[in-house]
């Protein structure tokens, strides 16, 4: 390659980068997850070798298995109970809750029990697990004193080894994306879905059951067997943060394939499709603490439910700040 070509390529690349940084700040209004965080500063799960032999270690291992194969134990053909939709916790808490920015459990042991705005009070790990059973698995939770719930808690506590009390380590949970200055667009999302997602999750979001129908090879994203309207993913910002950092399957925080805008639009599309409706009337006793993307009233502002569902969220944030 002649030197002059190389210089032109380098100059063009530098220009792109500069433009990117010039454009970025105007959109950065909430504290967001950096697009490419330094990988070595993120929380990493402890090594399995540190799970002890004996009864305590056995409980931790059982907890991990319950999280990885929840549908096998609790789904419609479950071996323990059959009051859930067949999803595995791991479908949404990737690698059994170990994946950086994969909705992992790195900050659970250190921060629970904690005050939850949705509950309007302190919440224990057992109660948080029950929340996901009732909302994300659209079912009922096993008793909080059962060996199963104790095992899941033991596993989460083991995952939190070395995280100081009160700290939520970088890379734990779900990434927070900057708000777009427009509403998320289900039509655009539908087009991305068809090219990038439907080959696994199915043209109707129905997923693909595995051979013995106990669990899913590809989990459903909407319809009767998906998370219900009270789940965390029914909030567009939550779903977008997960999708951007983890989908299409195989992408991760180091190799993201979707732009943030694409992730918002995909979430708008997925959350426009039919899914089980479940209402928990006691949620958000103090409505001023509701997140702006929570799509059900009552609201403290006069924006319609549609705006709370898809945005634009900035005007809502600004209206709240004026209060
Ligand atoms: C359909 C997706 C989905 C499934 C399946 C799911 N969860 Fe969750 N879970 C979420 C989302 C989304 C959040 C975060 C909500 C938020 O941050 O607002 C969450 C949060 C949690 C938290 C709190 C994490 C924290 O750092 O505060 C725990 C604990 C948890 N889930 C346990 C479970 C368990 C156990 C199962 C299986 C029985 C499960 N979840 C199944 C989506 C799911
Ligand atoms: C190559 C197959 C594949 C493709 C393509 C793919 N996914 Fe997934 N997706 C998976 C698998 C597998 C899981 C469950 C992960 C696990 O259990 O480890 C998953 C989980 C999910 C979940 C959480 C589980 C749930 O039921 O809600 C969401 C949301 C999701 N994918 C959205 C998307 C979107 C949006 C796209 C397109 C951008 C996409 N996926 C593309 C395979 C795929």
305-to-18, 127, 177, 274, 292 alpha-carbon distances in Å: 38, 28, 21, 17, 10
Mutate to test the pocket of ligand 2, among 71, 225, 247 (most ligand atoms within 8 A of CB): 247
112-to-3, 122, 167, 270, 314 alpha-carbon distances in Å: 59, 9, 10, 30, 30
Query: Of the bound ligands, which one is closest to the alpha carbon of residue 127?
Result: 1
Q: What would the pLDDT profile of 257-292 be if each residue is shown by its tens digit?
A: 999 999 999 999 999 999 999 999 999 999 999 999
Q: What would the pLDDT profile of 88-108 be if each residue is shown by its tens digit?
A: 999 999 999 999 999 999 999
Q: Vertex 96, ends 253 and 194: CA angle to 5°?
A: 55
Report how far ligand 2's centroid is from the alpha carbon of 201 (Å).
Answer: 7
Report how far ligand 2's centroid is from the alpha carbon of 75 (Å).
Answer: 19
How far is it, in rounded angstroms, from Cα 163 to Cα 90? 22
Return the pLDDT at 233: 98
- Asked if residue 91 has its Cβ within 6 Å of ligand 2, the reply is yes
For the chain, the C-alpha Rg in angstroms (whole number) is 21
Q: Is the pLDDT of residue 12 over 60?
A: no
Return the pLDDT at 174: 97
Confidence of residue 321 (pLDDT cuts 50, 70, 90): confident
Where are the CATH 1.10.760.10 domain residues in the chain?
43-159, 174-323
How far is it, in rounded angstroms, from Cα 218 to Cα 56? 32
- Asked if residue 129 has its Cβ within 6 Å of ligand 1, the reply is yes
Class at the top of the CATH hierarchy for domain 174-323: mainly alpha
Q: In ligand 1, which atom is closest to the CA atom of 227?
A: 1
Return the pLDDT at 31: 61
79, 73 Cβ separation under 8 angstroms: yes
Report how far ligand 1's centroid is from the alpha carbon of 139 (Å).
Answer: 14
Please state the pTM of the whole predicted model. 0.91
Query: Of the bound ligands, which one is closest to the alpha carbon of residue 81?
Result: 1
Calculate the CA 289 to chain-centre distance: 20
Q: Is the pLDDT of residue 30 over 60?
A: no
pLDDT over 90, % of the chain: 83
Q: What would the pLDDT profile of 182-200 be if each residue is shown by its tens digit?
A: 999 999 999 999 999 999 9
Please write down the long-range contacts of 23-31, taking CB distance under 8 Å and 24 or more positions apart.
27/178, 27/179, 27/180, 27/181, 28/178, 29/178, 29/179, 29/314, 29/317, 30/176, 30/178, 30/179, 30/317, 31/176
- Asked if residue 222 has its Cβ within 6 Å of ligand 1, the reply is no
How long, in residues, is the chain?
323
- Asked if residue 85 has its Cβ within 6 Å of ligand 2, the reply is no
Average pLDDT over residues 141-156: 97
For residues 191 and 31, the model is more confident at 191
Which among 317, 146, 131, 97 is positioned nearest to 234, based on CA atoms?
131
- Asked if residue 199 has its Cβ within 6 Å of ligand 2, the reply is yes
Q: Which range (15-19, 81-85, 195-199) has the least confidence? A: 15-19
**What does the CA dihedral 92, 97, 103, 108 come to, rounded to 10 degrees?**
130
How far is it, in rounded angstroms, from Cα 251 to Cα 309? 26
Return the pLDDT at 38: 62
- Asked if residue 70 has its Cβ within 6 Å of ligand 1, the reply is yes
Mutate to test the pocket of ligand 2, among 65, 93, 219, 266 (most ligand atoms within 8 A of CB): 219
CATH of domain 43-159: 1.10.760.10
- Asked if residue 45 has its Cβ within 6 Å of ligand 2, the reply is no
How far is it, in rounded angstroms, from Cα 314 to Cα 323? 15
Residue with tokens 């899914």: 275
Calculate the CA 321 to chain-centre distance: 26
Return the pLDDT at 80: 95
Q: Cis omega (within 30 of 0) on the bond before 113?
A: yes
Average pLDDT over residues 111-136: 97
97, 165 Cβ separation under 8 angstroms: no
Report how far ligand 2's centroid is from the alpha carbon of 146 (Å).
Answer: 30
Q: Is the pLDDT of residue 6 over 60?
A: no
Return the pLDDT at 276: 98
Q: Which residues contact 121 (CB under 8 A, 6 or more apart)?
A: 115
CB atoms within 10 A of CB 317: 14
- Asked if residue 237 has its Cβ within 6 Å of ligand 2, the reply is no
Return the pLDDT at 211: 72
310, 293 Cβ separation under 8 angstroms: no
């Amino acid at each position: 390659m002649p030197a002059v070509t190389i210089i032109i390529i380098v100059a063009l690349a530098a220009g792109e980068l500069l433009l990117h940084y010039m454009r970025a700040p105007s959109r950065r209004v909430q504290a967001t997850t950096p697009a490419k965080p330094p990988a070595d500063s993120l929380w990493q799960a402890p090594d399995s070798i540190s799970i002890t032999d004996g009864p305590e270690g056995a409980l931790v291992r059982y907890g991990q298995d319950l999280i990885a194969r929840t549908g096998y134990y609790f789904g419609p053909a479950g071996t323990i109970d059959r009051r859930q939709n067949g999803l595995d916790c791991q479908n949404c808490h990737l690698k059994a809750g170990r994946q950086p920015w994969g909705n992992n459990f790195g900050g659970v042991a250190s921060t629970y029990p904690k005050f939850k705005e949705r509950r309007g009070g302190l919440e224990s790990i057992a109660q948080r697990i029950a929340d996901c059973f009732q909302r994300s698995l659209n079912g009922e939770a096993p008793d909080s004193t059962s060996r199963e719930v104790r095992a899941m808690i033991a596993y989460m506590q083991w995952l939190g080894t070395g995280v100081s009390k009160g700290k939520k380590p970088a890379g734990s949970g779900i990434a927070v994306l900057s708000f777009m200055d427009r509403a998320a667009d289900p039509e655009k999302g539908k087009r991305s879905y068809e090219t990038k997602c439907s080959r696994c999750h199915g043209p109707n979001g129905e997923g693909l059951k595995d051979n013995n129908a106990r669990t899913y090879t590809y989990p459903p994203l909407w319809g009767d067997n998906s998370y219900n309207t009270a789940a965390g993913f029914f909030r567009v910002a939550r779903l977008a943060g997960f999708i951007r950092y983890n989908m299409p399957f195989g992408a991760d925080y180091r190799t993201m394939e979707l732009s943030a805008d694409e992730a918002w639009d995909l979430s708008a599309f997925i959350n426009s499709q039919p899914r089980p409706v479940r209402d928990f009337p006691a949620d958000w006793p103090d409505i001023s603490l509701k997140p702006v993307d929570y799509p059900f009233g009552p609201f403290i502002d006069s924006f319609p439910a549609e705006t709370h569902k898809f945005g634009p969220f900035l005007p809502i944030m600004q209206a709240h700040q004026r209060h």
